Structure 1
Amino acid sequence: MALVASATMLAALGAAPAQAAEGAQRLTGPGTGDPDVFLTYVGCDALFGAAQPPQSRLNLGPYTSPLGRRSLGLVPASGGTASGPFTRFGSLAALDASVAVASTSGSTGVSYVMAITPDNVPGTAWRGRAALSAPAGSWTTVSTAATSYDWTLVDLATLASLGSSETATPAAFAAGHGDGAGFVVTGFGCDGSPFNIDAVRGAGRTFDWEGTALATGMSVDRTSVDAGQSVSLTGRVSDPGGRVTGDPLVLESRRPGGAWAPVGDLVVSGPGGLSRVDVPVTETTEFRWHRPESQYADEGWSDAVTVTVAEPAAAPEGASKK
């Protein structure tokens, strides 16, 4: 998750977001690839204060995810940092960015809005801040449109406050000071507790975190043996970039046309991230690798390979039998 510098955030002031595409975009990591909506981290006490990047991971759930089956888990390095979506907006009056958050222990967070309206002089901007909380036990959706912020005029060069504050929702504030463009950052983890996010909406876009698409391959050292001989079967799991992930696998077998059944226990990967097992074969058998479901990927199977057992040679006609 890349840190967004103060200058980069401030450059978003006054710029409208790009045209949005329809439908939810499925993500498998913290990057959105979108310049108008992306994940970042900021200080809980000050927007551009000290902050540390969290670790991220895909999770099943927790609870029932707002979209799909998975969400993005974020683990703060320590307290004092809020992590979550940055959203650029073109209208403060119509601002309605949102994020769903869940934490099994509860989490505290903060939301910041920076906007330029017709009544602030050049070199200044309005800064809104709101403290947030998400209780344990369920998903909570935080909408900027329904959140009341404490607004203060700030000097853009020093970020120092230039007067007293007032409290209002973005639409109510725009009604009194005029509409304008800017950005909002909404994050959690201020108390250091891990949490999950999903269903990030903003700038006409929706983001849904789901599983990584993995590929499982099978190779065998030989496909024809005498009855009782062993074959060496190797499984390889890779991500869309071709990187071997080392996910554990279960070998399955069947007689041709029969039902699949596991052969032994879960096989943990060895050197090079490959799973390998030697199996004696007494009759012609089909083999495949099963990749069980994990937190970050759905289950899957490799293509099947057939190992043929040679039929014993027939005795010559007329040969004596003993």
Structure 2
Amino acid sequence: MRLRTTMALVASAMTLAALGAAPAEAAEGAQRLSGPATGDPDVFLTYVGCDALFGAAQPPQSRLNLGPYTAPMGRRSLGLVPAAPGTASGPFTRFASLAGLDTTVAVASTSGSQGVSYVMAITSDNLPGTAWRGRAALSAPAGSWTTVSTAATTYDWTLVELGTLAPLGSSETATTADFAARHGDGAGFAVTGFGCDGAPFNLDAVRGSGSTFDFEGTTLATGVAVDRRSVDAGQSVSLTGRVTDPSGRVTGDPLVLESRRPGGAWAPAGDLVLTGPNGLARVDVPVTETTEFRWHRPESQYADEGWSDPVTVTVAEAPAALEGAKNK
């Protein structure tokens, strides 16, 4: 899973003057994501340099996690593993009003995490070809989730030339609302990220530009197949299990076979079964009486537990048993 590159930010910086229109409206309620892609042009995850917005940066690895701690929304969050120190990863948010900007993101790290937040804006007192750049260092302590808000953050602001991003004067310090009150309101974008120290961290509950995103598990489907549905007592059947994601790709998740007499209670029929090179789980099971089988997919970091539909293997009655039944 990949985050958007900083090229998207370069394009945004070069077209700040065209951001007067309000961002697209998002549907009410949180949108559930199973990876870093939001599908929203106004809010997405990216990575930037910690020392310079468009400085050198490396993409992190990403994966879903249960936790850490108690996730602020749902049960899971998006874990990010920096490739090296010096890169901050987190949400990009486009805004139409600096005075009303309030992007928030929840972050957690078992070792703590250092981050940075940038704001680029064009206000009513900007000369053509210039923009205001705000920067603030961030810190998230270990032990719990921390919610970072752009509206509550104090930035160091510098007027820069848009073509080169070279500073054009001394800086000043203010929150986004106070800065808009001094220099006029305007449009722009904000990026808030963590991982500057190279430590892994998790993100959740991203809110901005009218959207809210909750990182949750992938929806998986588990299927079962049996080589024959009717056997003599004591014969074996071969059962295979297949786990697929929403695109139909076989994931290779390990499975546990469960069995029961028809109408009885389900119970494990063996240990966890690892999949082969083809991504399928397979076991051979002797059957002494008519039995139902199904596969159980245990809960994982990236998906909830699930079960396949059951299949029934019928055991034919032995001839002697049938003859005895007739003579009764």
What is the match of residue 176 of structure 2?
Answer: 170
Q: Secondary structure at the match of 1:273?
A: coil
Report if aligned partners of 1:12, 1:182 keep a CA contact under 8 Å in 2.
Answer: no
Cα displacement (A) at 1:39: 0.3
Q: How do 1:282-321 residues align onto structure 2 when only pairs under 5 Å count? A: 282-314=288-320
Q: Secondary structure at the match of 2:319?
A: coil
Tell me which of 24, 27, 32 is aligned to 1:18: 24
Taking the aligned partners of 1:288 and 1:231, their CA distance within structure 2 comes to: 13
Taking the aligned partners of 1:266 and 1:128, their CA distance within structure 2 comes to: 53
Taking the aligned partners of 1:317 and 1:224, their CA distance within structure 2 comes to: 20
Deviations 1:210-247 (A, max 9, x none): 00000000000001000000000000000000000000
* AA aligned opposite 2:233: A
Taking the aligned partners of 1:303 and 1:4, their CA distance within structure 2 comes to: 45
What is the match of residue 7 of structure 1?
Answer: 10
Q: How do 1:146-157 residues align onto structure 2 when only pairs under 5 Å count? A: 146-157=152-163
* AA aligned opposite 2:24: A
Q: How do 1:48-197 residues align onto structure 2 when only pairs under 5 Å count? A: 48-197=54-203
Taking the aligned partners of 1:117 and 1:80, their CA distance within structure 2 comes to: 30
What is the match of residue 227 of structure 2?
Answer: 221
What is the match of residue 234 of structure 1?
Answer: 240
CA 1:43 to 1:317, structure 2 compared with 1: closer, same or farther past 3 Å? closer
* AA aligned opposite 1:255: R
Please report the TM-score for the alignment, with normalisation by the length of structure 1. 0.97
Q: Secondary structure at the match of 2:188?
A: strand
Q: Secondary structure at the match of 2:169?
A: coil
1:280 aligns with 2:276: no
CA 1:23 to 1:316, structure 2 compared with 1: closer, same or farther past 3 Å? closer
What is the match of residue 267 of structure 2?
Answer: 261
CA 1:153 to 1:264, structure 2 compared with 1: closer, same or farther past 3 Å? same
Cα displacement (A) at 1:61: 0.6
Report if aligned partners of 1:12, 1:183 keep a CA contact under 8 Å in 2.
Answer: no
Taking the aligned partners of 2:234 and 2:42, their CA distance within structure 1 comes to: 63
CA 1:316 to 1:230, structure 2 compared with 1: closer, same or farther past 3 Å? closer
Report if aligned partners of 2:6, 2:54 keep a CA contact under 8 Å in 1.
Answer: no
What is the match of residue 249 of structure 1?
Answer: 255
Larger deviation, residues 12-21 vs 59-68 = 12-21
Taking the aligned partners of 1:20 and 1:198, their CA distance within structure 2 comes to: 18
CA 1:58 to 1:317, structure 2 compared with 1: closer, same or farther past 3 Å? closer
Q: Secondary structure at the match of 2:12?
A: helix
CA 1:129 to 1:312, structure 2 compared with 1: closer, same or farther past 3 Å? same
Report if aligned partners of 2:14, 2:163 keep a CA contact under 8 Å in 1.
Answer: no
- Give every structure 1 segment of 4 or more consecutive aligned residues whose post-TM-superposition deviation is greater than 3 Å: 314-318
What is the match of residue 43 of structure 2?
Answer: 37
Q: Secondary structure at the match of 2:166?
A: coil
Tell me which of 24, 41, 46 is aligned to 2:52: 46
Report if aligned partners of 1:12, 1:88 keep a CA contact under 8 Å in 2.
Answer: no
Please report the TM-score for the alignment, with normalisation by the length of structure 2. 0.95
Cα displacement (A) at 1:282: 0.3
CA 1:52 to 1:315, structure 2 compared with 1: closer, same or farther past 3 Å? closer
What is the match of residue 201 of structure 1?
Answer: 207
Cα displacement (A) at 1:315: 7.5
CA 1:316 to 1:29, structure 2 compared with 1: closer, same or farther past 3 Å? closer
CA 1:317 to 1:175, structure 2 compared with 1: closer, same or farther past 3 Å? closer
Aligned length: 319
Q: Secondary structure at the match of 2:189?
A: strand
CA 1:208 to 1:12, structure 2 compared with 1: closer, same or farther past 3 Å? farther
Report if aligned partners of 2:14, 2:162 keep a CA contact under 8 Å in 1.
Answer: no
Unaligned runs of 5+ in 2: none
Cα displacement (A) at 1:9: 2.3
Taking the aligned partners of 1:181 and 1:96, their CA distance within structure 2 comes to: 13
CA 1:310 to 1:128, structure 2 compared with 1: closer, same or farther past 3 Å? same
Cα displacement (A) at 1:269: 0.4
Cα displacement (A) at 1:4: 2.9
Deviations 1:96-140 (A, max 9, x none): 001000000000000000000011100000000000000000000
